[in-house]
Structure 1
Amino acid sequence: MTDAFDPSALFGGGANGENPMAGLLAQAQEMQTTLLRAQQELEEAVVTGTAGNGLVTVTGSGAGEVTGIEISRDVVDPEDIETLQDLIIGALADFSNVRENLASEKMGPLAGGLPGLG
């Protein structure tokens, strides 16, 4: 004879008095704490992107806020503004890539959200 499924076991009253939902809730709370800690570390991180072998440097936070741009005097040529513009765009793109890699590192598997929850 097979034991019938007892749905009350999911919400308490399971084998040995265990509550599977309590364990799931504790796991979700731990993941949330880990996520918040990673987000805080990311916001406090200083990220730098460069272009032209350091001719243009963009600095900002791990959250993506740009806080500074340094441009070498060697690249400032009033007759060639396009090169400077390209270098700034390149440094911003590098900054974005570095920031996204840092976010992936800090957030780990939590970056994609909880499995099965969209």
Structure 2
Amino acid sequence: MQELLQQAQAMQERLFAAQQELAETEVRGTAGGGLVTATVNGQGEVTGLVIDPKAVDAGDPADTAETIADLVLAAIRDAGRAAQELQAEKMGPLAQGFGGGMPDFGGGGIPGIPGA
């Protein structure tokens, strides 16, 4: 039983380390051929946004605003996909260590042991 508890604690520490790494890792998504770039951390939180001045058409502000809004959303979605891939890469091996599911350390019990 002690060995199982140690394994669970080690897995929890690896999970925490992976979550911390995700929080500190940034990925980028682009749209419009690079006119808009969104930066997202590994947890999917937007941390930066760059809009190239070439995306702005001063002669048609209404259309420009709509176009930029569409490009921003597309760049954020692109970055979000990259963040999901990063999450799967970092967290996937840990999930396998718990029989394919993510652990529930707060709910009691030891994953994979009925009634524990």
TM-score range, shorter chain: 0.7 to 0.9
Could you say which residue in structure 2 is the equivalent of 1:3?
none
Could you say which residue in structure 2 is the equivalent of 1:88?
72
Structure 2 residue corresponding to 1:98, chosen from 82, 85, 90: 82
- Show CA shifts across 1:62-112 (max 9, x none): 222222211111111214222211111100101111111111111124354
Provide the rounded CA distance (Å) in 2 between the counterparts of 1:37 and 1:98. Answer: 20
Consecutive unaligned residues in structure 2, runs of 5 or more: 96-100, 104-110
Number of residue pairs matched by the alignment: 97
Provide the rounded CA distance (Å) in 2 between the counterparts of 1:32 and 1:50. Answer: 34
Could you say which residue in structure 1 is the equivalent of 2:98?
none
Deviates more, 1:30-39 or 1:55-64: 55-64
Could you say which residue in structure 2 is the equivalent of 1:63?
43
- Show CA shifts across 1:25-62 (max 9, x none): 12111110110110111111012111112110011322
Consecutive unaligned residues in structure 1, runs of 5 or more: 1-20
TM-score (norm 2): 0.73
Aligned structure 1 segments of 4 or more residues deviating by more than 6 angstroms: none
Does 1:75 find its partner at 2:55?
yes
Residue identity over aligned pairs, in percent, reads 55
TM-score (norm 1): 0.72
CA contact (8 A) 2:40 2:80 kept: no
- Compare CA radii of gyration and give the structure with the larger one: 1
Does 1:113 find its partner at 2:102?
yes
Instruction: Output the aligned Cα RMSD.
Output: 1.9
* DSSP-derived class of the 2:34 partner: coil
* DSSP-derived class of the 1:64 partner: coil
